[in-house]
Amino acid sequence: MPLKAKLYIGVICTLGFPLLLSGLLPWRSEDPLRFACYLTVAMFVAGLKLSLPGVKSTLSATFLFVLFGIQELTPAETMALACLVTAVQCVLHAPHRAKPVQVLFNVSTMAIAVSVTASSYETLASQHLAPAVRLLVAAGVFFTLNTFPVAAILSFTEGKPLRKIWYECYFWSFPYYLAGAAIAGLMSVAQRYVGWQSALLLVPVIFLIYRSYRSYLERLEFEKQHAEEVAALHLRTIEALALAIEAKDQTTHAHLRRVQVYAVEIAKELGISESEIEAVRAASLLHDIGKLAVPEHILSKPGRLTPEEFEKMKIHPTVGAEILDRVQFIHPVVPIVRSHHEKWNGAGYPAGLRGEEIPIGARILAAVDCLDAITSHRPYRRALPLEEAIALIVEESGKSFDPRVVEVLQRRYRDFQVLADACTAAPNVAVTAAPGCIAPPVAGIEEAAPPLPAEEQGDFLHSIAAARREVQTLFELAQDLGNSLSLDETLSVLAVRLRRIIPWDSMAIYVERDGVLKPEYASGDDFRLFSSLEIPVGHGVSGWVAANQKPILNGNPDVEASQTAPAGRCRLHSALAVPLQGVAGNLGVLTLYRTEANSFTRDHLRILLAISAKVALSIENALRFRQAESSATTDYLTGMPNARSLFLHLDAELARARRTNSPVTVLVCDLDGFKQVNDRHGHLEGNRVLRTVALGLKDACREYDYVARMGGDEFVVILPGLTAAALEPRLIAFREASRRAGLEVCGSEALGLSIGQAFFPEDGADAEKLLAEADRRMYKEKQDTRHRASVSRKLWDLDLPALPLQ
């Protein structure tokens, strides 16, 4: 209890007890039996209290006997009756047993009221005023002295204005005091002309009036409670809709509650009316309900809105006001919702109001909503610390926000934040393993997914937000999968997007080739393990899915990993696999793995099945593009780079050589005797010769050398960093490779190899000049070889020694 309240109680008790003692002493009673009867009846009537709807106090008929005693009883009897009844009310008829200090305070207050009221009545009697006038004045004095001290102590303890408490809690009962004065006057007349016993006949009348009025008040209270329940139901319905809109708009239920706490506390600080405070309380939850009219792609856009999108967003205050106008709130909620985006300087929307033209509730809500928005995380920016956010709000004081609102916010924001945190704190929900899950079979294969119980969900707002995220992620995934024909890029995007809606620890995409599933993409904790797998169709989790074209939910990954490692070595315990069906049939399998057992749900399976067709089509297109790209740069017969790829590589190699000032050797090689091979053995054997020669040239090169097929039986070799002096061993190795190819395919040394050489930068500065020079030298060597062969045949015919071949 505050110190001033204690001092006030002390003053009242100090004044009241002397008056109580002086009123009781000396004791004088003209008719003790009459006094005893009146006291008994007053004790009974003290329990007949009425709680009127809409007020914080009760009404008792005790004051009737006080007013009656002032007229017909002695001062001592009146004081005793009033104080005893007051004490009994505090002890026996109170909803909670009163503390001793409360009893002392109430008895002292009653003693002061009785003394002053009796004195005023006697004073008016000495001026020969009519009894009715004296009684009405006495009723007014008694009402004031009986209610004002109690209102004062409530004002001290609750910190509310005295006038407001007295007016709201007690002033309503003044007419009843006047009516009680009239009844007390009738009791006095009846006693004088019929006898004091006749006054007791009014007790049944008082009780009948009490019961009738109590029944009426109970019915009125029931109707009022029913109306409040219906109004609350309407409000909760609108609130639920507003919360759903907020969940779709990247925000949360906590945001609304924080805004409500801040706004209501500021409204109380500014001292606005109770009706306006209730309007602020409702508008804090409902202010963005008009976003129903804003397309979701604008609400969920992870970035700055375009001018056109912002114009569409600006309709939501007007739409929200029109929606809430149909609810017909008893508080002014609609003007707040319509104006909560107006600015103090008139630059807001929708009506461009300025200053005091904006409703006070809207001015409060504008500042609070802005503060909470910039202190909350958004997809397009990080949240600001509360102190920095307050500084930004202060900078906008007098521009966007009401200076009075900003002043309260700046002064009390730490207190408000504590209240908001306490209001939005949610208890932790313990998530346990779902009971009754079917354990994976020993083989690790489940032909049908087990009937898992439903997941433990959060509240409905989390479900709505999860649905929005799922739709948005699937939409983005569908767009991203069609944006690139690169298989690695496509599958990387798939892995990132998919993880947002289906948590996984490892992921593998297998493509079927010749009855074996080979990993085309692996990611996650055990990506090395899954990258090395080659799973025969029908074996393991993914192999079973590929063979049966059915999904598996919560399969055993240990069986999968046992294709390359002993069973039991895998750290993963759940697998979710779905088949990928391409245009030409079975394409492969998409499999997700988790560390926890039975961690995938039917909802996860539903999402994966929903996207499997799109994923399969994207993978199939990427594989075809890879094949087409490979065909454009690879020779179909030998698997070596073709002429197009050769020029690209040679240009890049020459650019590097220029930067590093290093040599490059270019060789053009042509098979000698290849036409005879085709003529004698056929073109199939000729193709085999070309493949064998290509592999032989590749094997004779260093790791970073480059071999390409120009066309026909002509090959080009690029040897970076090799000088002319170090070339001879390579030439011998290349000729040996062609000789071995002839022996392997044709069984004779019918093949030879003519090689032309060109050196960068001596023989040319670009690819065309180097290739032309090497080609010229190759043909010169080929002609020299043919000439020597022709001379050898003529010498053979003349039986002369042959010329040695160089």
Bridge partners of 755?
669
pLDDT the model gives residue 449: 41
DSSP 87: H
pLDDT the model gives residue 367: 92
The SS3 call for residue 424 is helix
Are 363 and 269 spatial neighbours (Cβ–Cβ below 8 Å)? no
Q: What is the mean pLDDT of each run of 10 residues along the chain (806 residues)?
A: 83 87 81 81 70 56 77 84 82 68 86 88 82 86 86 80 78 77 79 69 67 71 76 70 60 71 90 87 84 74 76 88 81 90 91 92 92 75 82 90 91 85 51 32 41 43 60 70 71 82 88 88 82 86 89 85 55 88 84 89 84 83 75 80 87 91 92 84 85 90 90 90 86 89 79 90 89 91 76 52 46
User: How far apart (Å, rounded) are the C-alpha atoms in residues 323 and 316?
Assistant: 10
- Contacting residues for 585 by C-beta, under 8 A, at least 6 apart: none
| Dihedral, CA of residue 309, residue 315, residue 316 and residue 321, to nearest 10 | 180
For the chain, give every domain's residue range: 3-200, 249-424, 484-632, 643-798
pLDDT the model gives residue 708: 92
Phi and psi based region of residue 58 (left: phi greater than 0; alpha: psi -120 to 50; beta: remaining): beta
DSSP 344: T
- Dig out the tokens for 300 from the structure: 């969920």
pLDDT the model gives residue 758: 93
Length of the chain: 806
User: How far apart (Å, rounded) are the C-alpha atoms in residues 499 and 502?
Assistant: 5
Cα angle: 82, vertex 85, 87; to 5 degrees: 110
- Contacting residues for 479 by C-beta, under 8 A, at least 6 apart: none
User: How far apart (Å, rounded) are the C-alpha atoms in residues 629 and 609?
Assistant: 30
Nearest to 139, CA basis, from 183, 103, 85: 183
Amino acid letter at 355? G
Are 59 and 171 spatial neighbours (Cβ–Cβ below 8 Å)? no
Nearest to 14, CA basis, from 112, 147, 151: 112
- Dig out the tokens for 662 from the structure: 């290093």
The SS3 call for residue 753 is strand
Are 537 and 515 spatial neighbours (Cβ–Cβ below 8 Å)? yes
DSSP class per residue in 146-188 = HHHHHHHHHHHHHT--HHHHHHHHTGGGHHHHHHHHHHHHHHH
User: How far apart (Å, rounded) are the C-alpha atoms in residues 667 and 759?
Assistant: 9
pLDDT the model gives residue 743: 85
User: How far apart (Å, rounded) are the C-alpha atoms in residues 716 and 643?
Assistant: 9
Amino acid letter at 224? K
- Dig out the tokens for 595 from the structure: 């560390």
User: How far apart (Å, rounded) are the C-alpha atoms in residues 524 and 499?
Assistant: 11
Question: How do 552-555 and 535-536 pair as beta strands?
Answer: unpaired
Angle between helices 32-46 and 75-91 (to 10 degrees): 30
pTM: 0.44
pLDDT the model gives residue 48: 66
DSSP 598: T
- Dig out the tokens for 41 from the structure: 């009846």
User: How far apart (Å, rounded) are the C-alpha atoms in residues 736 and 743?
Assistant: 11
Distances 309 to 248, 295, 296 between C-alpha atoms, Å? 17, 9, 11
Distances 494 to 509, 610, 625, 764 between C-alpha atoms, Å? 10, 14, 18, 48
Q: Measure CA 785 to chain center.
A: 80
Identify each DSSP E strand in 280-414 by its residue range. Answer: none
Query: The CATH number of 484-632 is which of 3.40.50.620, 3.30.540.10, 1.20.1250.20, 3.30.450.40?
Result: 3.30.450.40
Query: The CATH number of 3-200 is which of 3.30.565.60, 1.10.1760.20, 3.40.50.720, 2.70.98.40?
Result: 1.10.1760.20
pLDDT the model gives residue 353: 92
748 backbone dihedrals φ, ψ, rounded to 5°: -150, 165
DSSP class per residue in 601-645 = -HHHHHHHHHHHHHHHHHHHHHHHHHHHHHHHHB-TTT-SB-HHH
User: How far apart (Å, rounded) are the C-alpha atoms in residues 42 and 200?
Assistant: 11
Bridge partners of 706?
718
Domain 249-424 has CATH 1.10.3210.10: yes
Buried b (16+ CB within 10 A) or exposed e, 416-427: bbeebeeebeee
pLDDT the model gives residue 66: 83
Are 619 and 511 spatial neighbours (Cβ–Cβ below 8 Å)? yes
pLDDT the model gives residue 121: 85
Name the CA radius of gyration of the chain, rounded.
50
What does CATH list as the number for 643-798? 3.30.70.270
Helices vs. strands in the chain: H and E counts, helices first: 30, 12
Nearest to 420, CA basis, from 375, 359, 366, 362: 375
pLDDT the model gives residue 124: 85
pLDDT the model gives residue 782: 85
